[in-house]
Each structure stands twice: as structure tokens, then as C-alpha cells.
């Protein structure tokens, strides 16, 4: 087993009730480096007994934490933000090791954006009005209670902070289950939470699989809320397990986001970033705009621009500073992406670059060719199913009505993009797209903008004020004045 100095020492333990401790039953699972297919660590897997232990700690800590002042919670969140930035190189190295993120991407995006969620939670908390008086009635917002947080492998640290930070800012206590496929960054994060001075029991971490730990959390009678980011299948199973206890369930479950190019778009300027947005993080982003919807009379121009952009991407060893895309994060996902590329070919899509197989020069590692299909019909599998790999579909349209219909012809509704120089027209099209977040002309990322889906992309919102409010209950005190 290859050992990195950045791997945490406590991989055989969980963080429960303010300290590191061994699980109830010792079961270890290998963590695989997707760049080499080598085992880099073994991490303990939990059981329902560990969940019970963590939930009991969170339940006991809940009254005290909910009663803390805004100033005290904000101070601890501020310290946690500082610690993430202070340890950003270790976090970036571990992210690169456990899920193959290019080190430059981990440093510039995965870690800094994760830190932003903590900063935003602190800032929202500092100015939030937990009580308002309306016509003699006090409308009070109170922490919902103990929250079970289930996070995925594709943006491991980012998704953790997007849930943990607003939950504890709101006055909730939490039990976190990170993905068993990328658990190392979560262990480092848990130590930073401890070092930030969070009281015992407020934050607890139990590693393990969805079928064991995730299911136990979802069904647990002492967990008041579940927030999950993952697949549709996982989200549905969690909702079913949570139903008997009628707990709140928020879900972010994936997408098949459109990128609609209006006829007046600057194609030379807008196509290359559209390709890079779709393939960023090796296409392993739920909101990746993987359906590029373009006027049919500009199709040849778009194909040439897209192929040139994709072919220039450097795919390789994630440790190299020059690498843009590392490998797919795990073997199962690599096989899924390869199968979907083959499905695109079988259904008659036009392959303009990339294709099946590993990147040339790599006999090992889950390196996948950046792949662009054109002349895609929106009924094809590659246009309807979330591939979660570096695969872009170019879909032509003849009228603007058809473009909007194609954008909405999906079971998902997480994100969308619109490109156009006439901002009024771009806004009008954005208003007609059924998605939780629509981006016009590649704006700067806004951590205050609520993020979440319509349709099978889930329910509830994350980020900013709206994400913070998901962790609050509403109480009306009538006759208050």
C-alpha cells in the first residue's frame, strides 16, 4: 500500500462526542487512488451501533448548542474558516489522492470554494433575524434539531461544508456520513472542527456505506432532518427510510443541465467556456451543463470550436501542475462512463472528439478521453441520463421554442445556462427553463445564490440564506404583543 504523508492517522476511528474513538465493530475498507489503482489507505466502516452512539451524542448536545449566542457560533465558524485556509494544501493533496482531482483544481476550486461555504454561513448567521413581529404575532425561527448529513464523492469537502456550516450556524447538531469512496478529506475536516473549538457532540462523523450507515441515519427516530447529495436511487431510498419518522428530507440528486445558445450569442467567445464548464472536475458535477443546445445553422462552427477546446485539454497525472483533468474518481464510475460513450455511438450520435477507452499512455488509472458528441437527439440515452464523466452532447434546434422545449425535456431540473448578447431575451428564456438555478453568460460563482433542483433533481435548497433556513423550524407565537 502506497502511503502519503497527507493521509490522516485516525483512519480506523470515528469522531463522536468530541473525541476520536474506535467503531463498535472493526471493519476496514480500502481507499483506492484512481490515478494508480493502488490502495492508499484503509478506513473504518460503521454500523447502526455507531450511528446510535453518534446520534445520542448529538441529541445530548442539542439543547446547549441551540442556546449559544450568535456571537459564539459565528466565532467558531470564523475559526473553522481560518483553519481550512491554513490547511488548504493538505486538504488539496488528500482530495487529489482520494478522488483524482488535478492538484491545481483542488487548490484553486475544491478547497477555496469549500471554505466559502463556512464564511457565508458565518456571515448569514451574524445578520439573520430569528424573530420578527407581524400583526402582534412573533414569527420565530428555531434550529430543527439533530441533522443527518450524507455527502458524495465528487466534491467531497465542498459538499461537507455546504451542509455542516449552515447546520451548526443555525444551532443544530449533526452526524455526518461522507462517501466511503472519498473519506480522507472528511477525516481531516473533522480534526479542524475539533481544533476550532466546537463543543463535544455538536459535530459527529461516522464513515460507512449507504446501505448500512446511511440507512440507519435515515430511519433513526432521534434524527430530525436528513440532507443528502447523491444519486436519484440513493435519494429515493433515504426518503423511503425516513418516511415513517416524518423527518424533513432535503435532496440534491443530480442533473442533466442544458446550455442554451441564443442566435445572437458570441459563439467564438461562449463555446470554449461551455465545454470547460461541462468537463470541469472530469464532468463529475451534478450541475455540469452537458447538453449544449445550439442553432442548427451554427452547428458546424460549434463543432469545430468544441473539438478544438476538448482536444487541447491536458489529461494526466493529477499531481502534475499542468494537468487539467485527472482520472475518473473510481472504477465503477469509469465503467459507467465508458458504457455511456458506447451507447452514444450505438444510437448514432456523431463523435467529434474523444471516444471510448483510456487516454493514450495510461495502462492504469481511470483516465477518460474528453468526449464530444454532436447531432444528438434529445431522446438518446446520452442526452437523458446523467453520465457523470467528461462527455458533452451538442443538440441542434431550429426555433427558440424548440430550444426551450429541449432544455426542459428531462426528468432533471438542477441547473441551466443561457448564452446571449440580448440580456432581455436571455432573461426571458431563463424564466421559461424549469431549473433551480440558471446562469446567464457564465457569471462569477455566487455562494449566496440558492442551489437546488426541480423535478427529480431533488427538493430544498443549499447555499446562502435559503440554505441556512433549511435547518430552521418556524414557530408562531400568537398574541405576542
Give the span between the Cα atoms of 282 and 368, in whole angstroms: 8
Does 293 have pLDDT greater than 80? yes
Tens digit of pLDDT for each residue in 197-228?
A: 999 999 999 999 999 999 999 999 999 999 99
Give the span between the Cα atoms of 27 and 48, in whole angstroms: 13
Q: Are 123 and 77 in contact (CB under 8 A)?
A: no
Q: How far is CA 99 from CA 104, 115, 214, in A?
A: 14, 19, 21
Tens digit of pLDDT for each residue in 115-145?
A: 999 999 999 999 999 999 999 999 999 999 9
Where in the chain are all domains bearing CATH 3.40.605.10? 14-253
Tens digit of pLDDT for each residue in 426-455?
A: 999 999 999 999 999 999 999 999 999 999
Give the span between the Cα atoms of 106 and 87, in whole angstroms: 13
| Mean pLDDT rounded to a whole number for the chain | 97
CATH architecture assigned to 14-253: 3-Layer(aba) Sandwich (3.40)
Region 365-388: what's the mean pLDDT?
98
* Sign of torsion over alpha carbons 8, 11, 16, 20: negative
Give the span between the Cα atoms of 265 and 417, in whole angstroms: 12
Q: How far is CA 368 from CA 36, 307, 371, in A?
A: 14, 16, 8
Residue 26 confidence (pLDDT): 76
Among 2-6, 12-16, 185-189, the range scoring the smallest mean pLDDT is 2-6
Distance from the Cα of residue 419 to its chain's centroid = 24
Q: Which residues are catalytic?
A: 252, 286
Domain 258-446, CATH class in plain words: alpha beta
Give the span between the Cα atoms of 438 and 429, in whole angstroms: 10
Q: Are 282 and 100 in contact (CB under 8 A)?
A: yes
Q: Whole-prediction pTM value?
A: 0.97
Does 2 have pLDDT greater than 60? no
Please name which of 252, 66, 49, 58 lies closest in space to residue 174, comparing C-alpha atoms: 58
pLDDT band at 112 (very low <50, low <70, confident <90, very high): very high
Residue 51 confidence (pLDDT): 98
Does 36 have pLDDT greater than 70? yes
Where in the chain are all domains bearing CATH 3.40.309.10? 258-446
Amino acid at each position: 500500500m502506497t502511503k502519503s504523508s497527507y493521509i490522516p492517522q485516525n483512519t480506523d476511528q470515528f469522531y463522536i462526542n468530541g473525541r476520536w474513538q474506535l467503531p463498535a465493530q472493526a471493519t476496514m475498507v480500502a481507499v483506492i487512488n484512481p490515478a494508480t489503482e493502488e490502495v492508499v489507505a484503509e478506513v473504518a466502516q460503521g454500523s447502526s451501533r455507531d450511528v446510535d452512539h453518534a446520534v445520542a451524542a448529538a441529541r445530548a448536545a442539542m439543547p446547549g448548542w441551540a442556546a449559544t449566542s450568535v456571537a459564539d457560533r459565528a466565532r467558531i465558524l470564523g475559526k473553522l474558516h481560518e483553519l481550512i485556509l491554513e490547511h488548504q494544501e493538505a486538504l488539496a493533496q488528500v482530495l487529489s489522492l482520494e478522488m483524482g482531482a488535478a492538484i491545481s483544481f483542488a487548490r484553486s476550486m475544491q478547497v477555496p470554494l469549500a471554505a466559502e461555504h463556512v464564511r457565508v454561513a458565518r456571515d448569514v448567521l451574524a445578520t439573520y433575524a430569528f424573530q420578527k413581529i407581524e400583526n402582534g404575532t412573533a414569527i420565530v425561527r428555531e434550529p430543527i434539531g439533530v441533522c443527518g448529513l450524507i455527502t458524495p464523492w465528487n466534491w467531497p469537502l465542498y459538499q461537507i461544508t455546504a451542509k455542516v456550516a449552515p447546520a451548526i450556524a443555525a444551532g443544530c447538531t449533526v452526524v455526518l456520513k461522507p462517501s466511503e469512496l472519498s473519506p480522507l478529506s472528511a477525516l481531516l475536516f473533522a480534526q479542524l472542527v475539533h481544533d476550532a473549538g466546537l463543543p463535544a457532540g455538536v459535530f459527529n462523523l461516522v464513515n460507512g456505506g449507504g446501505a448500512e450507515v446511511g440507512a440507519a441515519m435515515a430511519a433513526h427516530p432521534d434524527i430530525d432532518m436528513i440532507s443528502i447529495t447523491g444519486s436519484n436511487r440513493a435519494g429515493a431510498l433515504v426518503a423511503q427510510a425516513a418516511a415513517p419518522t416524518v423527518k424533513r428530507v432535503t435532496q440534491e440528486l443530480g442533473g442533466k443541465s442544458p446550455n442554451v445558445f441564443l442566435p445572437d450569442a458570441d459563439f467564438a467567445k461562449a463555446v470554449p467556456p461551455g465545454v470547460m464548464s461541462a468537463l470541469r472536475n472530469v464532468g463529475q458535477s451534478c450541475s455540469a451543463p452537458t447538453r449544449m443546445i445550439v442553432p442548427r445553422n451554427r452547428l458546424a462552427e460549434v463543432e469545430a470550436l468544441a473539438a478544438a477546446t476538448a482536444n487541447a485539454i491536458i489529461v494526466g497525472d493529477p499531481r502534475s501542475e499542468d494537468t487539467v483533468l485527472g482520472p475518473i474518481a473510481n472504477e465503477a464510475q469509469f465503467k459507467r462512463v465508458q458504457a455511456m460513450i458506447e451507447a452514444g455511438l450505438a444510437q448514432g450520435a456523431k463523435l467529434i472528439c474523444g471516444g471510448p477507452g483510456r487516454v493514450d499512455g495510461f495502462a492504469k488509472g481511470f483516465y477518460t478521453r474528453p468526449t464530444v458528441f454532436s447531432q444528438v437527439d434529445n431522446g438518446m440515452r446520452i442526452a437523458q441520463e446523467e453520465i457523470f464523466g467528461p462527455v458533452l452532447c451538442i443538440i441542434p434546434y431550429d426555433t427558440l421554442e424548440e430550444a426551450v422545449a429541449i432544455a426542459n425535456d428531462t426528468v432533471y431540473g438542477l441547473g441551466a445556462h443561457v448564452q446571449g448578447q440580448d440580456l432581455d431575451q436571455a432573461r426571458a428564456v431563463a424564466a421559461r427553463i424549469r431549473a433551480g438555478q440558471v446562469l446567464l453568460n457564465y457569471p462569477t460563482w455566487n455562494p449566496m445564490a440558492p442551489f437546488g433542483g426541480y423535478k427529480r433533481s431533488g427538493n430544498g435548497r443549499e447555499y446562502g440564506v435559503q440554505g441556512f433556513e433549511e435547518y430552521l423550524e418556524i414557530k408562531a407565537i400568537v398574541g405576542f404583543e
